[in-house]
Amino acid sequence: MPVIRNPLHSLNVSAGELLRFRVPEDTCYDPEDGATPSLSLQLLTVSKRGLSPRSWLKFDEVNQEFSGVPLEEDVGREEYQLVRKNCKKYCPQTMKDKIRISSHYLGVL
């Protein structure tokens, strides 16, 4: 059964600045399939939907990397779920990492 070993919790970015963050190799683990790079992950909203194509935030599933540049109108906090997809066997719905991404005005944290 896959598990989250080191949850991401939160990421911070300033409006107008590039966010680029690769999911660490030790974030999750599956005894059958191995560490994070061996798993297929996707980023969903807290309502379990894919990201809008118009969202400033993108998730590269191949490289397991968050990226994007929030604009001033994007300032605020959004919560997402990093989840395992395409499990070979049993994959519980609870195998998810809840992540808060906060965007701030430049120079304000």
Q: Quick check: 91 pLDDT over 60?
A: no
Reduced to 3 states, what is the DSSP secondary structure of residue 39? coil
Class of domain 3-104: mainly beta
Angstrom distances, CA of residue 28 to CA of 3, 33, 84: 6, 11, 9
Q: In the prediction, which pLDDT does 32 show?
A: 83
Q: What is the pLDDT of residues 94-107, one digit of tens each?
A: 456 788 888 888 76
Q: Over the chain, what is the mean pLDDT?
A: 85
Q: What is the pLDDT of residues 50-87, one digit of tens each?
A: 999 999 999 999 999 999 999 999 999 999 988 887 65
Q: Is the pTM of this model over 0.85?
A: no
Domain boundaries, the chain: 3-104
Rounded mean pLDDT of 24-34? 86
Q: In the prediction, which pLDDT does 39 show?
A: 86
